[in-house]
Amino acid sequence: MQECKIIERDSFRRGLRRLSEEYRQRIINALRQLSRNPNLGKRLRGRYRDL
CA-to-CA distance for 24 and 51, rounded, in angstroms? 25
**Would you tell me how many other CB atoms lie within 10 Å of the CB of residue 31?**
14
**What secondary structure letter does DSSP report for 46?**
G
Task: List the chain domain ranges.
Answer: 10-48
Do 41 and 34 form a contact (C-beta atoms < 8 A)? Answer: yes
First to last CA, the chain: 17
- The pTM score is 0.69
CA-to-CA distance for 47 and 37, rounded, in angstroms? 21
Q: pLDDT tens, 4-44?
A: 888 899 999 999 999 999 999 999 999 999 889 878 877 77
